[in-house]
Amino acid sequence: MIPKPDWAVSVSPHIRKGTTTSQIMWTVSATLAPVLILSIYNFGFRSLIITIVSVLSCMLVEAISQKAMGRAVSVKDGSAVLTGILLAFVIPPGVPYYLPLIGAVAAIFIAKELMGGLGYNVWNPALVGRAFLQASFPVAITTAWIAPQQLAKSAWDVFLSPGSADAISTATPLSVIKQYGITALTHQFGGLDSIYWNFFLGFKPGCIGETSALLILLGGLYLMARKIITWHIPVSTLVSAAIVAWIFGGQTWFSGNPLVHVLSGGLMLGAFYMATDYVTSPTLKSAQLIFGVGVGGLTVLIRLKGGYPEGVCYAILLMNCLTPAMDEWFKPRRFAPPKAAPVAAAK
Amino acid sequence: MAGTTFAKGGIHPEEHKELSERLAIEEMPPPSQVVLPLSMHFGAIAQPIVKKKQEVQEGEVIAVVEKALGASIHSSVTGVVKAIEPRPHPTMVRCEAVIIDRDPSAPPRSYEVDDWRKLSREQLLARIKEAGIVGLGGAGFPTHVKLSPPPGAKVDTLVLNGAECEPYLTTDHRLMLEYPEKVVEGARIILKVLGIKQCVIGIELNKADAINVMNKAAAQSSEKDDTVVRVQGMQVKYPQGSEKQLIYSLTKRSVPGGGLPFDVGVIVQNISTTMAIFEAVSMQKPLYEKVATFSGRALNRQANLKVKVGTLLSDVVEYLGGTKDLVKIVSGGPMMGFAVSSIDIPVTKTTSGVLFLNSSETDLGEFGPCIHCGWCMEACPMGLSPKEVGLYVEAGKGHLTEKFGIFDCFECGCCAYVCPAKRPLVQFARLAKIAIKKRG
């Protein structure tokens, strides 16, 4: 019989790096705070309320599902919070307040917990939530846009009178392009330079967290500096989107405007925060590059040739389907494997 | 100096060497009783050749391995055999041990240095065998066997492992600083045994003082014969001192999976072992004393101690003023050492250090699900997929993990170290190996 040990015994190693799963989740969530603040500035307190409803819904749904399935409740690990933030960020600010709750059920219960919980989901939960809402509430999801107050009022006015659902309703730049072409958009913003500038800073109609390329870029760069994400997926996504937009986006071939496509819609948020999700993207860097190329290319192809003005959500969900296969195909290069390699044990 | 390194992977854990790296090796007074387990290292369990109540001298052989692979065990004190009975053992839980009560009046045995250069290769090997030398880095492979490579092997380089890449441990660092001549002479003995001319001593750059001292010692002794002993600085990166990584770092040769260093013409020896070889050959002193680092913040005083093999950890702890907030005792380094369950276990030939960790130094928390961050795959120096192995084992499919090269895994712990979910990836790897072996 093995005597009861006097001290803790466990298999080596006995020291661990400090970073934990929940630290990663909370850090990623924190880097999205500036995006939310700008969104409140742009679209009023609706943005904040919808984000709060979404986060609380995700936490609640996760707690209930985990309890119901007899799992340990892990709401505190920050994963559901991050999903909640991302779900709110990919829906328009003008939707009814109960909508995020329905999205949360799809995101957390169906896409995450039913799949086996954290680490076992095939699709990005927030995007499944968004796709579910788009299928179930097509009108709300595609029309509940609010024009940024910046275009009409001064900053002080915005603070005093936050926007509401019946604020100036508008169309997103991508749907303008889809319906009337890019010249209509140029006309609306008063020139290409103005488009680039407003899109880069984030003063345009769009989903709650998708407007500011600058703030998303800063958050993404911070995550890279902290080594939480690497450049592979964001860069390959954006470059691929730009190239496909340049090839197919114009009246003739090779005459599209890549910059407008990169800066509009959810591409920046998708490239830095959605496609980089550890669980649903390939692990190996080489596979990540291919994954990003797929996400960027499919996004622009859906925008240009598909029925919807925006394609990021479906592009990422489609590439998520390939992730398990890519993880199987792409293995790390081994250091000095046996000379006569053993017969592959994949029976 | 830029410093060489291995091909891929690796981590930079906190070193914690500041606790003991400046403390000179200190000789601990011999304890009143020593416990000498009959299994101290790789190979067969030794058979005792002494009886209860028999008087034994310091350095006298008390147990031998007759036919199988193994090494002799010597008494570390002069005294009387009190008992031969099972006692707590670092890795085997319990093991038959010879217990010797020390005679306090006996003077310590002294040894004289004579010139090993007049001895033949066979005489050198015989002295190494008689002294019971085993690899002191960890596994304890009998040294006389390691120094007799099969006839077909074309060994041309001796590699001395002065990396000491495990955090906390400072034993080899201190030995190189304080006995550089003994280490270099030991290296030349090994060169003569192997009939080769070339030795590289790899030392991590965080031990700049040791690199200086060893460089000088190597230069001074090079006038005596035509062998070349060279010191090479290496990057501070774990696991720089692992055999395959070390060989690649110093010679750019890759030992293939399932192969041994002599497949690429190399033999690796540890610094402590090399010094023990010098003492065994030049002084005819058997291996019954061990320099080891006793560290960790739960210990009231940290030290690099020279202790008698068979000294109980409880005696060492008492000598060092006890512990506070002790939660885990680790024999060896924190990356690859093993947690021991009792303080009544003895220091053995292969003990390179014992760590007494407090609650802030070691993490006893629970682990979570794999989030596929891939950090383990980047950290793995062998290019394996630890996360996949873990998932397979959890799913009861450990026997299907051979495709990930699981037998190349030497359990360095880099994967588990970086894992944000704190998954016990080394344990999963061990379970996978067991599962494959069970299926035959």
Assign residue B358 the CATH number of its domain: 3.40.50.11540
Record: contact B408-A338, CB cut-off 8 A:
yes
What phi and psi, each to the nearest 5 degrees, are found at residue B239?
-100, 75
Record: contact B259-A339, CB cut-off 8 A:
yes
Range scoring the smallest mean pLDDT among A60-64, A309-313, B42-46, B326-330:
B42-46
What are the CA-CA distances from residue B264 to residues B157, B195, B381 (Å)? Answer: 9, 16, 19
- Count of domains in chain A? 2
Chain A neighbors of B405, CB-CB under 8 A: 334, 337
Mean pLDDT of A318-324: 97
**Of residues A8, A12, A283, nearest to B377 (C-beta):** A283
In a domain? residue B117: yes
Distance from CA of A156 to the nearest CA of B (A): 43
In a domain? residue A12: no
- Could you tell me the pLDDT band of residue A340, with boundaries at 50, 70 and 90? low
Count of helix runs (H) and strand runs (E) in chain A: 17, 0
Identify the pLDDT of residue A174: 87
Chain B neighbors of A330, CB-CB under 8 A: none
Identify the pLDDT of residue B358: 94
Identify the pLDDT of residue A5: 66
Q: Both B193 and B320 in a single domain?
A: yes
Question: For residue A332, is the peptide bond before it cis, meaning its omega torsion is within 30 degrees of 0?
Answer: no
Record: contact B362-A24, CB cut-off 8 A:
no
Record: contact A334-B336, CB cut-off 8 A:
no
In a domain? residue B118: yes
| Residue A342 pLDDT > 50 | no
Distance from CA of A49 to the nearest CA of B (A): 30
Chain A neighbors of B430, CB-CB under 8 A: 11
Q: Both B279 and B399 in a single domain?
A: no
Distance from CA of B65 to the nearest CA of A (A): 27
Q: Both A183 and A116 in a single domain?
A: no
Q: Both A175 and A138 in a single domain?
A: no
Identify the pLDDT of residue B140: 84
Q: Both A175 and A302 in a single domain?
A: yes
Interface with chain A: mutation pick from B246, B361, B394, B403, highest number of A CBs within 10 Å: B403
Record: contact B421-A20, CB cut-off 8 A:
yes
Tell me the CA end-to-end span of chain A in Å, nearest whole number: 38
Record: contact B371-A117, CB cut-off 8 A:
no
Record: contact B9-A335, CB cut-off 8 A:
yes
Identify the pLDDT of residue A4: 63
Single residue among B364, B389, B405 that ends a domain in this structure: B364
Q: Both B235 and B114 in a single domain?
A: yes
pLDDT digits (tens, 9 = 90+) for A149-159: 654 344 344 33
Compute the C-alpha angle B73/B74/B75, nearest 5°: 130
Distance from CA of B305 to the nearest CA of A (A): 22
pLDDT digits (tens, 9 = 90+) for A56-69: 999 999 999 999 99
In a domain? residue B313: yes
Q: Both B166 and B309 in a single domain?
A: yes
Q: Both A254 and A182 in a single domain?
A: yes
ipTM of the complex: 0.91
Mean pLDDT of B67-73: 86
Domain span at residue B227 reads: 1-27+107-364
Single residue among B306, B336, B364 that ends a domain in this structure: B364
Q: Both B342 and B393 in a single domain?
A: no
| Residue A122 pLDDT > 80 | yes
Identify the pLDDT of residue A2: 53
Record: contact B369-A120, CB cut-off 8 A:
yes
Distance from CA of B362 to the nearest CA of A (A): 5
- Look at residue B81 and give its three-state secondary structure: strand
Specify whether the CB–CB gap between A317 and A295 falls below 8 A: no
- Look at residue B94 and give its three-state secondary structure: strand
Record: contact A16-B336, CB cut-off 8 A:
no
Distance from CA of B392 to the nearest CA of A (A): 12
Distance from CA of A184 to the nearest CA of B (A): 43
Q: Both B407 and B278 in a single domain?
A: no
Q: Which pair of tokens denotes residue B301?
A: 């005083």
Q: Both B315 and B177 in a single domain?
A: yes
Number of Cβ pairs < 8 A linking chain A and chain B: 176
Q: Both A181 and A314 in a single domain?
A: yes
Record: contact B342-A117, CB cut-off 8 A:
no
Domain span at residue A179 reads: 171-204+212-329
Distance in angstroms (rounded) separating the CA atoms of residues A197 and A212: 10
Q: Both A107 and A227 in a single domain?
A: no
Q: Both A54 and A125 in a single domain?
A: yes
Q: Residue B59: left (phi > 0), alpha (psi -120 to 50), or beta?
A: left
**Of residues B11, B337, B372, nearest to A279 (C-beta):** B372
Q: Both A224 and A281 in a single domain?
A: yes
A339 to chain B: nearest residue by CA? B256
Mean per-residue pLDDT over chain A, rounded: 89
| Residue A146 pLDDT > 90 | no
In a domain? residue B12: yes
In a domain? residue A77: yes
Q: Both B426 and B325 in a single domain?
A: no
H, E, C per residue of A71-108: CCCCHHHCHHHHHHHHHHHCCCCCCCCCHHHHHHHHHH
Chain B neighbors of A118, CB-CB under 8 A: 368-369, 371
Q: Both A116 and A68 in a single domain?
A: yes
In a domain? residue B89: no
**Of residues B380, B400, B420, nearest to A24 (C-beta):** B420
Mean pLDDT of B13-42: 94
Range scoring the smallest mean pLDDT among A285-294, B92-101, B408-417:
B92-101
- Count of domains in chain B? 2
**Of residues B257, B371, B416, nearest to A279 (C-beta):** B371
In a domain? residue A151: no
In a domain? residue A161: no
B414 to chain A: nearest residue by CA? A13
- Look at residue B268 and give its three-state secondary structure: strand
Q: Both A138 and A185 in a single domain?
A: no
Q: Both A238 and A287 in a single domain?
A: yes
Q: Both B244 and B292 in a single domain?
A: yes
Distance in angstroms (rounded) separating the CA atoms of residues B378 and B373: 10
Distance from CA of B144 to the nearest CA of A (A): 27
In a domain? residue A345: no
Single residue among B330, B364, B398 that ends a domain in this structure: B364
| Residue B276 pLDDT > 50 | yes
Identify the pLDDT of residue B304: 97
pLDDT digits (tens, 9 = 90+) for B103-145: 999 999 999 998 999 999 999 999 999 999 999 877 788 999 9
Interface with chain B: mutation pick from A1, A6, A17, A123, highest number of B CBs within 10 Å: A17
In a domain? residue A304: yes
